[in-house]
Amino acid sequence: MRSYTLTAPAKINLYLEIIGDRPDGYHELAMIMQSIGLADQIEIEANDVQLIRFRCDSKEVPVDRSNLVYRAADLMVQEFPDSFATYGGVDITLHKHIPVAAGLAGGSTDAAAVLVGIDLLWKLGLTKLELEELAAKIGSDIPFCIGGGTAIATGRGEILSPLLGLHNTYIVLAKYRSLEVSTPWAYKTYRSLYSDSYVTDKESLSARANAVHSGEIVKAISHQNASEVAQKMHNDLEKVVLPEYPQVLQLKESFAKYDILGTMMSGSGPSVFALCDSKDKAEEVKLHMRNEIPSDDLELFVTQLINYGIQVR
Ligand code: C5P
C-alpha cells in the first residue's frame, strides 16, 4: 500500500488537576482524557523524492517545520533512517475540522495520525506502546491520542491507564473562532498564581497522582453514571483562563441555563463543552445556544464521546 487515510479524533478533559512542578519544567498532572467524534482526516502517501511535504486545507494551520505534523514525520525519519531510505519521502495532506488552539488536542491528534500512518507505510510493525513512547518525545497529549477512548493520564500526561468509558453520551462543544488560548501561557500563569499550593515531595506527588485512580469521577465512569461524572468534572486551568477570557465564562454560564448534565472548559481552553445524555438533548441545547448567542464567531458542534483514537480508513 502506498497511501493511507486516517481519522484523528479530538479530545476533551473530563478532569484536569495540576499537582506540582517537574524538574523538566512541565507540570505533574492528573487528568481524565476523553476522545470525541469531532475529527481531522489525514492522508499519507509515499512520494519517492526523499522529502516530507505537508499541506493543509485550512489557512489557520501553519505548514512550516514548527507544526506537530511535520515534527512527527521528522521524528520518524530520525528514528528509522533505513526505512526512510528504502520507502522514500511522505506527502501529508491534512483536512482540518478540529478548531485550532482550542484545548482539544487538534495538533496532537494529527501528529499521532502521522506516527501511525508512517508506521504502516514503512511496514515498521510498531506496537501501541512503542508508538506512545515516540509520541511522548514531541508532546504530552500525543501518546493518549494514539489509542484514544477514555484514560487516566498522569506524569506529564503520557502515563496512561485506559478506562471503559461512558456509552451514549453526547456533548455540545462551543468555541469562539477568533479566540485562542496559548497552553504555555495558561500553565505559566497558573504557576505564578498557585505554585504555593504545589505538592513538592516525591511521595506526596505520586500519592496525589494515584488518588485519581480511586477517585469519585473514575467510579462514576465505571458505573456508567454520566450525571455523576458531570458533577465531578474539574479543570484547574479554569482558574486562570476564565478571569482572563470573560467570553469563556459566558459560554459556561449560558450552557448552565439549559437542561445539561454539566459544563466544563476543555484543557487550556477556550473551548467549553456541555455533557448531555442524548443526541436530541445536545441538538436542542445547540439550538438554544445559537439563539442566545447569534454571533457568527461562535462555532457549535454536537458530537459523541467515543472509545477509540486514530483509525485507518
Ligand atoms: O507537551 P506540550 O508541548 O503539548 O505542552 C504544551 C505546553 O503546556 C508546555 O510547553 C508547557 O508549558 C505546558 N505543559 C505543562 N505541563 C504538562 C503539559 C504541558 O506545563 N504536563
- Domain identity same for 241 and 143: no
CA angle 176, 245, 169 (to 5 degrees): 55
- Domain identity same for 110 and 178: no
Q: Give the three cell numbers for residue 245.
A: 477570557
Residue 64: its pLDDT value, please?
Answer: 87
Single-letter amino acid code for the residue at 96: K
Residue 311 lies in a domain: no
- Domain identity same for 27 and 150: yes
CA of 141 to the centre of ligand 1 (A): 9
CA 284 → CA 154, 172, 175, 277, 289, distances in Å? 35, 10, 17, 12, 9
The pick from 187, 190, 195, 235 for probing ligand 1's pocket by mutation, whose C-beta has the most ligand atoms within 8 angstroms, reads: 187
- Domain identity same for 110 and 191: no
Residue 187 lies in a domain: yes
> Which tens digit of pLDDT belongs to each residue from 106-133?
999 999 999 999 999 999 999 999 999 9
Name the percent of the chain lying above pLDDT 70.
100
- Report residue 309: phi and psi, to 5°: -110, -120
Average pLDDT over residues 75-96: 97
297 as an active site residue: the answer is no
- Domain identity same for 286 and 200: yes
- Domain identity same for 205 and 79: no
Residue 148 lies in a domain: yes
Domain boundary among 166, 198, 213: 166
- Domain identity same for 272 and 299: yes
The pick from 183, 189, 235 for probing ligand 1's pocket by mutation, whose C-beta has the most ligand atoms within 8 angstroms, reads: 183
DSSP string, the chain: --EEEEEEEEEEEEEEEEEEE-TTSSEEEEEEEEEEEEEEEEEEEE-SSS-EEEEES-TTS--STTSHHHHHHHHHHHH-HHHHHHH--EEEEEE--SPTTSSS-HHHHHHHHHHHHHHHHTT----HHHHHHHHHTT-SSHHHHHH-SEEEEEETTTEEEEE---SS-EEEEEEETT----HHHHHHHHHHHHGGG---SHHHHHHHHHHGGGSHHHHHHHTT-HHHHHHH-EETTHHHHHHH-HHHHHHHHHHHTSS-SEEEE-TTSS-EEEEESSHHHHHHHHHHHHHH---TTEEEEEEEB-S---EE-
| Annotated active-site residue in 11, 96, 232, 286 | 11
- Domain identity same for 142 and 245: no
Residue 107 lies in a domain: yes
Residue 313 lies in a domain: no
Residue 139 lies in a domain: yes
- Domain identity same for 237 and 124: no
CA angle 174, 175, 180 (to 5 degrees): 155
CA of 176 to the centre of ligand 1 (A): 23
User: Per-residue confidence at 171, pLDDT binned at 50, 70, 90?
Assistant: very high
CA of 258 to the centre of ligand 1 (A): 33
Residue 60: its pLDDT value, please?
Answer: 87
In contact, 89 and 118? CB cutoff 8 Å = no
Average pLDDT over residues 207-220: 95
> Which tens digit of pLDDT belongs to each residue from 28-74?
999 999 999 999 999 999 998 999 999 999 988 988 888 999 999 99
Question: Which residue's alpha carbon is nearest to atom 12 within ligand 1?
Answer: 184
User: Per-residue confidence at 202, pLDDT binned at 50, 70, 90?
Assistant: confident
Domains of the chain: total: 2
Q: Give the three cell numbers for residue 292.
A: 442566545
- Domain identity same for 259 and 124: no
Residue 312 lies in a domain: no
Q: What is the CATH number of the domain that holds 110?
A: 3.30.230.10
- Domain of residue 269: give its range: 170-304
Name the percent of the chain lying above pLDDT 90.
96
* 140 C-beta closer than 6 A to ligand 1: yes
> Which tens digit of pLDDT belongs to each residue from 238-282?
999 999 999 999 999 999 999 999 999 999 999 999 999 999 999
In terms of DSSP bridges, do strands 234-235 and 90-95 run parallel, antiparallel, or are they unpaired?
unpaired
Domain boundary among 138, 166, 194: 166
How many CB atoms lie under 10 A from the CB of residue 196? 5
Residue 3: its pLDDT value, please?
Answer: 96
Question: Which residue's alpha carbon is nearest to atom 2 within ligand 1?
Answer: 139
Domain boundary among 150, 166, 182: 166
Residue 104 lies in a domain: yes
- Report residue 259: phi and psi, to 5°: -85, 70
Q: Above 70 in pLDDT, residue 1? A: no
Q: Above 90 in pLDDT, residue 166? A: yes
Q: What is the CATH number of the domain that holds 270?
A: 3.30.70.890
Q: Which atom of ligand 1 is nearest to the CA of 28?
A: 21
- Domain identity same for 159 and 176: no
| Annotated active-site residue in 119, 141, 175, 281 | 141
- Domain identity same for 138 and 249: no
> Which tens digit of pLDDT belongs to each residue from 145-164?
999 999 999 999 999 999 99
